[in-house]
Amino acid sequence: MFRRITRNWRIPKGKEKTAFDERILQFQNRGEIVPTNRLVKTPEQIEGIRNSGVVNTGVLDLVEKEIHAGMSTADIDRLVYDYTVSHGAIPAPLGYEGFPKSVCTSINEVVCHGIPSETEILREGDIVNVDVSTILNGYYSDASRMFIIGETTPEKKRLVDVTKECLDIGAAAAKPWGFVGDIGKAIAKHAHKNGFSVVRDLCGHGVGLEFHEEPEVDHYDTHRHGMLLVPGMVFTIEPMINMGTWRVFIDEADGWTVVTEDELPSAQWEHTFVMTDHGLEVLTY
């Protein structure tokens, strides 16, 4: 999924070292993992990602307005495709490594990467994650929301709510000149306190110039610092929280759909963020 990069910060040829460079190099010289120059986006690039996020948010707003019991997940896919292309953008999942649809729709025990289908019908009580990614003028954005179809069980409702809290807590834990590892540590603490588990086999990621960039953003406590977080970095946080075990498997029938090993429900929320001098700013509201 990720293009491996050499984790070194370099002073561009012909440019003088700045205080920003010096601060990163201090961490690098201590043996910490630091971003490469490419992972720190320019103001112009951030604005392009922000504009992509506006379309991405519009897609999810439309889904929120239209989603209901009795519709198929293929209906959701058509909504996403039509809205995206009508706004001059491209659905990033469509054709990505062979993925056949414009959106991921993941119901109940499906953790992520569910493929929309004409025969998959939303029913009262389902919880469904709709994961949308957009390319606008070459810039990528990525976000997902959980939707409850009608009335569901108190247990499923609590899972959805706690997962959203995990996203918010993980974002609050991400500080400029902190580390990626702080995010997963905070998320895991809240999930475990509420009796849930955190999927370990999938993660958040850098995004913006490509669909998936570094850093990998684990949502569990790896007991490692991970990459240094500096202003200008753009990445997703997208915790996948399970009612039962954290373990998952990939459905062999399609090679994409990730399911909880015990087939108990899972939930996920996601935003694309940019790190600023004061903390994270959401780019996918």
pLDDT along the chain (285 residues), means of 10: 59 88 96 96 98 98 98 98 98 98 98 98 98 98 98 98 98 98 98 98 98 98 98 98 98 97 98 98 96
Sign of CA dihedral 120, 248, 255, 130: positive
pLDDT given for residue 217 in this prediction:
98
Closest CA to 213 of 45, 52, 47, 2: 2
CB neighbourhood size of 254 (10 A)? 13
Tokens of 190: 């809240």
Closest CA to 282 of 239, 236, 249, 215: 236
Q: What is the pLDDT of residues 127-162, one digit of tens each?
A: 999 999 999 999 999 999 999 999 999 999 999 999
Q: Pseudo-torsion of CA 255, 257, 261, 264, nearest 10°?
A: -160
pLDDT given for residue 7 in this prediction:
62
CATH class of segment(s) 34-282: alpha beta
pLDDT given for residue 81 in this prediction:
98
Q: Kindly report the pTM of this predicted structure.
A: 0.95
Q: What is the pLDDT of residues 152-208, one digit of tens each?
A: 999 999 999 999 999 999 999 999 999 999 999 999 999 999 999 999 999 999 999
- As to burial, measured by CB atoms within 10 angstroms (0-12 exposed, 13-18 middle, 19+ buried), residue 154 is exposed
d(CA 204, CA 215): 8
Packing angle of the helix pair 181-193, 154-173 (nearest 10 deg)? 150
Cβ pair 258, 202 in contact under 8 A? yes
Tokens of 234: 């753009």
